[in-house]
A = this chain, B = another copy of it.
Amino acid sequence: MFTYRADATAAQIEAIPRGLSRLPGLIPQIRRYEYGAGINPGNKDFVVVADFDSNADFVTYRDHPDHQAFIAECITPAVAERVAVQYLIS
């Protein structure tokens, strides 16, 4: 989940889903990839929900050059805080 920077521009915010949309085509470990802006006040601004076959595949995604480039180009300029969790789907 992300919280936008107070000075994040509309263009920076719009770049996030655009950047995310490219990743499933670049990172084969992604099994399911959903993301969207928060719709209720008082909660976080944006979220990504991603499924992988294993935690090892998640780590491959996390460290993948295209994911790291997306973070540098789209997340770092616009996001003040990121909170995350990975869990095993039973």
Contact = CB atoms under 8 A, between A and B. Distances in A.
Interface of A: 1, 34-40, 43-47, 49, 55, 58, 83-90
A49 B1 CA distance: 12
Label chain A's interface by main secondary structure.
Answer: loop
Contact of A39 (B36, B49, B88, B90): B88
A89 B34 contact: yes
B55 A87 contact: no
Contacts of A58: 40
Contacts of A39: 55, 86-88
B55 A89 contact: no
Contact of A44 (B38, B83, B88): B83
